[in-house]
Structure 1
Amino acid sequence: MAADAPPRFVNRLLGWAPTWFIARLLLVSAYLLGGVTKLADWPGAVAEQAHFGLYPAGLWAALTILVEISGPLLILAGRLVWLGAGMLGVFTVLAAMVANAFWTLPAGADRFMATNAFFEHLGLAGGFVLVALVARQAR
């Protein structure tokens, strides 16, 4: 076995048929839940967009719900994965810039937390690129 080869149990896990679906479900679960929650609480969804200064808030709420539901469904269905991943990746970067603009905050705990959240969101966007790459390779 090569020095960089994964252990047998890791190979089994990665080769297990449901692993690909479960990994995608874990990646998109917050978006899917967020979209369904916003859909169930339309006034709250509109208020959230207004809170971030996005107007017309109703339009931004509708677009957010559309992306947060359709993007995950495309990824989970394995159809147009590149589109679903692209939608969620762009959405995630834009949302991070709006909600976690750490560069506008003074030094301190709030800036520290916003910086962490911003870069966590960039990591998620990278995960969507990887999902699109894996899906393309699997074709």
Structure 2
Amino acid sequence: MVLDTPRPIAAILHWRVTWFLARLALVSAYLLGGVVKLTDWQGAVAEQAHFGLQPAALFAALTIAAELVGPALILLDRLAWLGAGMLGVFTLLAAFVANDFWTMQGQERFMATNAFFEHLGLVGGFVLVAIVSLQRAHRDA
């Protein structure tokens, strides 16, 4: 049996503000991270060095760019596929660099495994943003 979405839920899902708030929720941590790194350059460079990324300043600049440009494209719903791709690739790379659970034991492994798969869930969210943005563009054309 196929169940239709209840009308009140469908109405909420069709609101433009819902589309914007969902995208804002998805990218909020990236926006905050980009602003914090931009205002604490030394901390941003130190973070990259901590993860063994060299030259740390270059990786800090690339991280800040991804964390600010990607969300802007998604929130503006202009080239959302590009912003989603930027953040999806960034998030996937970060998952492997920062959450290498396969090298850990005990509680550390448990926590890193959870974080790794949370990152994969975010990647899926970015793919969905690109899909929905494309569908909305075709619908509105």
TM-score, normalised by the number of residues in structure 2: 0.94
The 3-state SS of whatever aligns with 1:5 is coil
SS where residue 4 of structure 1 aligns?
A: coil
96, 111, 117: which is aligned to 2:115? 117
C-alpha distance after superposition, 1:97-125 (max 9, x if no partner)? 0000000112x111000000000000000
In structure 1, the partner of 2:89 is 90
Deviation, structure 1 residue 3: 4.4
Distance 1:93 1:54 in 2: 15
Q: Which residue, 113, 118, 135 being the options, matches 2:133?
A: 135
Which ranges in structure 2 are unaligned for 5 or more consecutive residues?
A: none
Give me the identity figure in percent.
69
Q: Distance in 2 between matches of 1:66 and 1:131?
A: 19
Query: Are 1:71 and 2:75 counterparts?
Result: no
Return the TM-score normalized by structure 1. 0.96
The 5-angstrom pairing of residues 9-28 of structure 1 reads 9-28=8-27
The amino acid that maps onto 2:23 is R
Report the CA distance between 1:4 and its aligned residue: 1.5
User: What CA distance in whole angstroms lies between the structure 2 residues aligned with 1:136 and 1:24?
Assistant: 14
1:12, CA displacement in angstroms?
A: 1.9
Partner of 2:59: 60
Q: Distance in 1 between matches of 2:90 and 2:133?
A: 20
Q: Which runs of 5+ in 1 are unaligned?
A: none
Q: Which whole-Å CA distance do the structure 2 matches of 1:115 and 1:56 have between them?
A: 27
Taking only aligned residues, the RMSD between alpha carbons, in angstroms, comes to 1.0
